[in-house]
Structure 1
Amino acid sequence: MGDNESKQSIVEVKIIEKGPVVIHGPVKVTTPDGMVVVRDMCAICRCGNSKNQPYCDGSHLTQSKHVYEHEEFF
Structure 2
Amino acid sequence: MEPRFLLLSDVAAELNVSDSQVYHMVRSGELPAIKIGGRGQWRVERARLEEYIQRKYAETAEWVRDNPLADRDPE
| Fold match by TM threshold 0.5 | no
The TM-score bracket by the shorter chain reads under 0.3
More strand by share: 1
Larger radius of gyration: 2
* Higher RCO, 1 vs 2 (CA within 8 Å, ≥6 residues apart): 2
